[in-house]
Structures are given as structure tokens and as C-alpha cells.
Amino acid sequence: MGDVVGEPGRKALARRLKGLQEELAVDFTVVNGENAAGGRGISGKQCIELLKAGATVITTGDHVWDQKDLPGYIDTEPRLLRPCNYPQGTPGSGSVVLDTPKGPVAVLNVRGLTYLNPPLDNPFVRAAEEVEKLRAQTPVIFVDFHAETTSEKIALGRYLDGKVSAVVGTHTHVQTADEQIFPGGTAFLCDAGMCGAADSVLGRTVESILRRFLTGMPTTLPVARGDVVLCGAVVDIDPSSGRALEIRRVRETVPAE
């Protein structure tokens, strides 16, 4: 599931995620939670909330440290990841391997460099290093590449083709329609989209975003309310080889309570 934006996104997932898992026969769910806390970052409380809603692993991105309790919390919850290309010694981990009834599944969280701050280690080099370690434990590897540009996302997908099961992008909050399986057997989607208010600009109120663009002045950007669109992707994977068999987009509107 794509970036969860604030309370509306969290509550919609709590209401609908387990139903989607049952209807789509989902065994393992990765949720990007980096905007779960009021639209910026994620706290320990919101991590627990998303896990209870049905997330197996929670990934993050450039807002990972925006909530002050997160650095002290992340080492206590291995299912909450931060990008693997942060420097050595940063709290938390960029990957995890979890046992499931169908075999071990690895999740790798990577952050892009283009237009994002602070500068991090090269995502291509670090991802390749992590993938080599993960492949010693399982061929089933899901990569959340949190990046701004489509070119960087496609390039990493191509670079990891045949080495991981899927590369799905997050960060832009806009679901793309380029789902495909690369020649080496890696499923790819530029961006999973968001879990946030449908009547919004990337999950924020329309008026506040327009004010920012029209005036150029610093503006608060409240999280929008109302009906929520849940966006993501489902990847079918051969557990013995790790090759993707199919990838399809998910998009559903959850009416406001």
C-alpha cells in the first residue's frame, strides 16, 4: 500500500485492509507509513496502529525522522524500516526477513537521491549490497524505492531485475499505470500511490496547496478529510524462485465515516 497520509489514511486502512487481504488472497502486506503522523513522519503509536490494521512490514522515506520519538522507538520494532542507504550507525534497519507459511520474505527500503534531502549513500550501491545479503536467506525480496523521479525508479528496477521479486516506488502519492514484469522476472511499478483523502492535493487540503503556489509564502498544509482512496499493488511471486508471476494495481475509495 502506498504512502499513508495522516489520520484519514490510517483509519481507512484500519477499516478496509483486512478485507482487501482476504478478497485478494494476500499473504504479506507492505505499507509505506512515512506520512502517517499528521502527514509528516510516523510515531511509535502510529506504527502499532498500522500493524494492527494488517501491515506486515512498514516502510518509510525522507520524513522518517520527523516525529521526535521515532529514533528511540525504531530499534524496538524490526518490522518498521528506514531507508537502507542512511549512514552506518543510524538507528533502525533498512531491511527485514520474516518467516511466513510459504517461506521467508524479505523487505528492503531504499531512498532516492534526486530532489531529496538530506544526501544519503548511493541507493544503487547500497541496495545491491543489501540484496546480496538477503538472497542468502530468501529469493523473495520486495523493494520499496522511495524516490522522486520516475527515471531513478525505473533505473533501480532495471538494475535489480532478476535479483529481487519486486521494486515498487513510493513518495509521489500519485499511482502510476506502468506495472510490468521486467525480463529477469522482477515486477515493477513506478509509484503505488497514496492512502489519503481523495479530494485533496497529495492528501493535503486543496486550498492550502493553492495558497502556497499562488503566493510563494510559507503555508501550513493541513491533512485533507473526507473519502479516502486506498492505492497499492498486488504482486504474485513464485516462492521457490522469487520470480514475479503477475503485478496488478489496487485502487479503492473508502467513504468517510
- Contact 228/253 with Cβ under 8 angstroms? yes
- Is position 146 annotated as part of the catalytic site? no
* Separation CA 42–CA 231 (nearest Å): 19
- Contact 173/190 with Cβ under 8 angstroms? no
- Contact 164/257 with Cβ under 8 angstroms? no
Closest to 197 (Cα-Cα) out of 221, 176, 213: 221
For residue 83, the one-letter residue type is: P
- How is residue 105 annotated by DSSP? E
* Separation CA 20–CA 14 (nearest Å): 11
Q: Which of 63, 146, 171, 173 is catalytic?
A: 63
Active site residues: 63
